[in-house]
Amino acid sequence: MRAGTELSGNLRRRRRDKPQHSQFSLCQRHDLLVDIERLGWTDTVVYPPRFNIRYCAGRCPRAVRALGVDTSNHAMLRAIVRGDRRRQSQAPPSPCCVATRLRPMNMLYRDKQRGHYDIWQLNDVIVDACGCR
């Protein structure tokens, strides 16, 4: 077996293919696959059968902007104030890793009552970028 792989039954997977988010990783985008069949929506949703809506997770430390993560000035100042030991009793919550850019997605669905197909455009479904806010 090559370095960097592991076997689990008949499934061979590289370690770098595993989700990399943890309480120690910086704010970033991660995959979140949606399967219409598993949701029980196959009577209504025709296409796509599967899609990746993604999500944001990770830490937003005080120096996150220097590390290349999109951060608002407000979140950066909040992190600095939170780190001030003299203000611990009044410390604001830490900045959060959130979606900063979303895009729409089209779905073909079947209207059984009317007997026709239509296209839904769902706004703000797919995460394109994450940041600390």
Report the distance separating Cα 66 and Cα 76, nearest Å.
11
Residue 59: beta bridge partners?
A: 26
String of DSSP letters for 34-61: EEHHHHT-TTTEEE-SEEE--EEE-B--
**Per-residue DSSP letter, 18:** S
Between CA 42 and CA 110 the distance in angstroms is 9
Residue extents of the structural domains in the chain: 22-132
pLDDT in tens, 74-102: 888 887 787 766 666 677 777 889 999 99
Alpha-carbon separation of residue 68 from 28, 91, 107, 113, 117 (angstroms): 10, 25, 34, 51, 44
Its pTM surpasses 0.85? no
Question: Could you tell me if 110 and 80 are in contact, meaning their C-beta atoms sit under 8 angstroms apart?
Answer: no
Helix (H) or strand (E) holding 101: strand 97-111
Mean pLDDT of the chain: 80
Q: Was domain 22-132 assigned CATH 2.10.90.10?
A: yes
Q: Each residue of 11-35: pLDDT tens digit?
A: 333 344 445 555 568 899 999 999 9
Structure tokens given for 74: 């407000």
Reference 131, options 93, 102, 99; nearest CA is 99
**Residue 32 pLDDT:** 97
